[in-house]
Copies of this chain bind each other. A is one copy, B any other.
Amino acid sequence: MPVELRPTQALRLWHDVTLDLVRDGEHDLSARQMAVLLTVYLEMPPHTVRGLAAKLGVTKPAITRALDTMGRLGLVSRHRDAKDRRNVVIQRTVAGALAVERLGDLVIARHRELPF
């Protein structure tokens, strides 16, 4: 367990990682899309549109649109639930797992470089 972060360090960490994301420009994900991506890859499946909408506190169409974009980027995929065909299950992809992994590396690297 890390020790307590000081305010300057916390903000410097957020700044550095955000700057890396902007500069690489590869993803260009909005905050909502980032929240969806990480929720899908960190929390227990299954993930549905409704569940994500509730978790993020946004409307369902917002989730649908986020999934459209992220699907286009290959970060997630959608499949009808065979048990209840009204539901759509969001699944992980190789590209998505790689993107998440890279983000993790970024955070770790910037965290390691924090000044005393």
Copies in the complex: 2
CA of A31 to CA of B100 in the docked complex: distance in angstroms? 16
Is A22's CB under 8 angstroms from B112's CB?
A: no
Q: How far is the CA of A32 from the CA of B35 in the complex (A)?
A: 16
Q: Is A31 in contact with B10, judged by CB distance below 8 angstroms?
A: no
Per the 8 Å Cβ criterion, residues 82-101 of A in contact with B are 100-101
Q: Summarize A's interface: helix, strand, loop or mixed.
A: helix
Any B CB within 8 A of the CB of A73 = no
A39, B11: Cα distance in complex, Å: 10
Complex contacts, A32 vs chain B, CB 8 Å: 22
How many A residues touch B, CB cutoff 8 Å? Answer: 48
| B4 A108 Cβ-Cβ under 8 A | yes
Chain A, range 19-68, C-beta contacts under 8 Å to B: 19, 21-23, 25, 28-32, 34-35, 38-39, 41-42, 55-58
Interface centre among A17, A107, A112 (most CB of B within 10 A): A107
Q: Across the interface, do B39 and A31 meet the contact criterion of CB distance under 8 Å?
A: no
